[in-house]
Amino acid sequence: MKNSPRYSILAASMVTLVAAMPLAHADGDYRAKALAMIKQDFVGRGQATADRVNADGLQTICNRTGNKPPEGIAKRLEADQLAAVKLPADGKLLGDWKSGEQIAQSGRGFTWSDAPGLAVGGNCYNCHQIAPKETSFGTVGPSLYQFGKLRGNTAETQRYVYRKIYNAKAYNLCSAMPRFGHVGALTEKQIKDLVALLMDPNSPVNQ
């Protein structure tokens, strides 16, 4: 067997195949390589620990499906996220819109340069138009100007807004918006104040 001509031909063709392989990768292989690279290349700093690069179940599904999960899976997982939302025990959802405005302005929190334990901001204006006075607003998310005025300040809508801020993925599994309550970024009081910013008839958002 050893050194037979047939074996040599086989070996030669194998070498050719292996040499050609980098060009023949499917997307999945690149994804696996990217993941392996990311896992080896990050180190913890400050509160941003190294394990943050590990995707959780929801993130994994969004990553694997290009943020377009099959509808059945999306509906089931959205229901799971929704079921885990903790509504305030006192049943009151409308906080202080003035405080909500400050929270909406702040983009602090969770980076390796933020002091752990300090109050986290809502990052809202980074992506949304909200109160008309603030003209420096982002456009990654839809405008929320006149949110309450357009929808009506009902208990049902307040509940929706609270839940949406607590966990945006309960309504849109691969939404770009963070899960502020779910991950413990915003407190119950902070979310109530943000609900007030959007819903309170006296909030500048609804003037």
Partner 1 sequence: MIHRIAVAVVLALVIQPAGAQDKPAAVKKGAKPPAAAPAEPKDAATLEFEKFRTQMEQEGNPAELHEMRGEELWKAKRGAKGISLAASCDLGLGVGVVKGAYVQMPRYFADAGKVMDAERRIVWCMVEKQGFKFDDLAKRPFASGDYTPEQTALVTYVAAQSTNMKIAVPLKDPHVKEVYEIGKEVVTYRAGPYDFSCNTCHGEDGKRIRMQNLPNLSTPQGALTAVLGWPGYRMTGSVMLTHQWRMNDCFRQQRFPQPKYASDTVTALLTYMTANANGHMYKGLGIKR
Residues 6+ apart with CB under 8 A from 186: 103, 120, 122, 165, 166, 180, 194
Beta carbon of residue 132, minimum distance to partner 1 (angstroms, whole number): 4
Beta carbon of residue 89, minimum distance to partner 1 (angstroms, whole number): 19
Beta carbon of residue 180, minimum distance to partner 1 (angstroms, whole number): 9
Tokens in use for 193?
């104040």
Residues 6+ apart with CB under 8 A from 93: 87, 155, 158, 159, 161, 162, 192, 195
Q: Which residue has the tokens 């933020």?
A: 114
Say if residues 144 and 130 touch (Cβ distance below 8 Å): yes
Cβ nearer to partner 1, comparing 100 with 120 = 120
Cβ nearer to partner 1, comparing 99 with 172 = 172
Beta carbon of residue 176, minimum distance to partner 1 (angstroms, whole number): 5
Beta carbon of residue 95, minimum distance to partner 1 (angstroms, whole number): 18
Residues 6+ apart with CB under 8 A from 181: 85, 86, 165, 166, 167, 188, 191
Cβ nearer to partner 1, comparing 157 with 193 = 157
Question: Which one-letter DSSP state was computed for residue 133?
Answer: T
Cβ nearer to partner 1, comparing 185 with 191 = 185
Cβ nearer to partner 1, comparing 1 with 115 = 115
